[in-house]
Amino acid sequence: MRLDKFLSHTGFGSRKEVKEILKKKVVCVNGKPEKNGKKSIDENKDAVSVYGEVVNYKKFVYYMLNKPKGVISATEDNLHRTVIDLISEVDQVPGLFPVGRLDKDTTGLLIITNDGELSHQLLSPKKKVPKLYQAKVAGLMTAEDVLVFSTGVTISGNEHCLPAKLMILETDVESETTLINLEIVEGKFHQVKRMVEAVGKKVVTLDRQSMGGLFLDSQLKKGSYRELTDEELASLRN
């Protein structure tokens, strides 16, 4: 790994900020001062210090992405841009992947990490991790739909869903549209869209707002990401 990337990953700022630190000749690799950010180091073996303090390498990284429309939840694709392509070069580490999938036209919270164990915990059907979506629906959702979802709706004719919380936020009788929040504890393929279809309506836009205890940062623009804070990571682990 390049020294500038290592320093950026371990909390010394953007590549520009790291350049400034390197210029000050306060960074040492195995005891020798080093100014060249391009220098290749072994993050598991070489001892890097800044102002005499040894810097420990973080094995795992955790990013919160506000996924925009039009990119796919995969690590690579020959045709389309992926969510991993949205992570800037300096923040790329080997083995990054999205935790679960959002459809190409779905926006909102997506966790990007290289921590397979955490991902497994969050996606395991046994854990029933809640996921909150906001959707604009063509058609008027009703109190009966709330009841059907709360007891477990059947989708595509024979797939039974676990009970889900449907909240009707706004109904617009004129345009026959409804704004809803829907909390589900599973991750079936196109689940929200198929649940809404099962009661005779259609999802027009879909945005994920939370997963487990983690809420999408409202300051994060579509296509932007940031590292999770220690508190956010702890709440996710809980």
Residues that bind ligand URA (CB under 6 A): 102-103, 106, 190-193, 206
Q: Which is nearer to ligand URA, 84 or 102 (by Cβ)? A: 102
Taking the C-alpha atoms of residue 61 and residue 225, their distance in angstroms, rounded to an integer, is 12
Please say whether the dihedral angle defined by the alpha carbons of residues 46, 50, 54 and 60, taken in this order, is positive or negative: negative
Q: Which is nearer to ligand URA, 48 or 206 (by Cβ)? A: 206
Q: Which is nearer to ligand URA, 5 or 193 (by Cβ)? A: 193
Cα Dmax for the chain: 72
Please give the C-alpha separations between residue 27 and each of 31, 41, 89, in angstroms, as whole numbers: 9, 13, 22
Query: C-beta of 72: minimal distance to ligand URA in Å?
Result: 11
**Which two tokens mark 160?**
């039974």
Please say whether the dihedral angle defined by the alpha carbons of residues 104, 207, 192 and 111, taken in this order, is positive or negative: positive
Active site residues: 103
Query: C-beta of 230: minimal distance to ligand URA in Å?
Result: 28
- Name the residue type at position 93: V
Q: Which is nearer to ligand URA, 183 or 217 (by Cβ)? A: 183
Q: Are 125 and 115 in contact (CB under 8 A)?
A: no
Neighbours of 122 (CB within 10 A): 21
Q: Which is nearer to ligand URA, 7 or 198 (by Cβ)? A: 198
Query: C-beta of 210: minimal distance to ligand URA in Å?
Result: 13
Which residue in the block uniquely carries the two structure tokens 């973080």?
58
Query: C-beta of 14: minimal distance to ligand URA in Å?
Result: 31
Please say whether the dihedral angle defined by the alpha carbons of residues 215, 217, 218 and 223, taken in this order, is positive or negative: negative
Beta-ladder partners of 208: 108, 133
Q: Please state the length of the chain.
A: 238
For 30, the 3-state DSSP assignment is coil
Query: C-beta of 35: minimal distance to ligand URA in Å?
Result: 46
